[in-house]
Amino acid sequence: MTDASPDDDLAADDDMFWSGVAVNRRSWGILNSVYRLLGRQSVTRSWVRETNPRIEFNFDNLTLSGVGFGRGLNELSLLGLGPADEKYGEGCRSLSYDDLGLCITASDDEGIYCIEIQWWDFGAYKPFPGECLVHGRAVPLTKDTDRKAILDYFGKPSDVTDEEDFSSVEYEVAGGEFTIVFDDEGTLSFVDVTRTD
């Protein structure tokens, strides 16, 4: 018997979170036709993928290349991200770009309300390649960025969590908050950005 891979653990977590249906998963093209027959249309099917999408996340106003909370997913179409792995939940949709370290979730009524930026680097998962802006300047966030560097870049957090298997710092800004989560080695794993208003 072989041990489960990190990919298996993430897939299991993903399936537990989403009770909906996946659509337009790039690695399962045959399913697209089935989902379309069920009335599940991909919003990103026609989006063009640029060779090197130029993306940035601004932590000051919580925007992804100028697109912020409350905006429709279609506003992301000009960023060069291309077709996403999409999942539907009850009244919401999630766009995953494992190779760009991005997951964007939106409600049908409220627009974008959650953005996750990942610095994972195994299997199909690649670190976020974009630029990050903090206090009006670019900061070099990578999978090797440690907690001390994060505190130097972002300043004093509004909340800190230190548990045996989980470590994070949280920041609040106008309209939202973000939680920076560290891996077992104390370096950057992912940032969960959520809307609060």
**What pLDDT is recorded for position 52?**
84
**Local structure of 163: helix, strand or coil:** strand
104 vs 106: CA distance, rounded Å: 7
Q: What is the pLDDT of residues 122-171, one digit of tens each?
A: 988 999 999 999 999 999 999 999 999 999 999 999 999 999 888 999 99
In this prediction, what percent of the chain has a pLDDT beyond 70? 79
What are the tokens at 75? 């506003």
Which letter, b or e, does each residue of 79-91 get, where b requires 16 or more Cβ atoms within 10 Å of its Cβ? bbbbbbbbbbeee
Mean pLDDT of the chain: 83
Which letter does DSSP use for residue 65 in this model?
Answer: T
Contact 69, 111 (CB under 8 A): yes
* 179-88-38 Cα angle (round to 5): 170
Domain ranges of the chain: 6-195
pTM for the predicted model, two decimal places? 0.81
Is the pLDDT at 36 greater than 90? The verdict is no
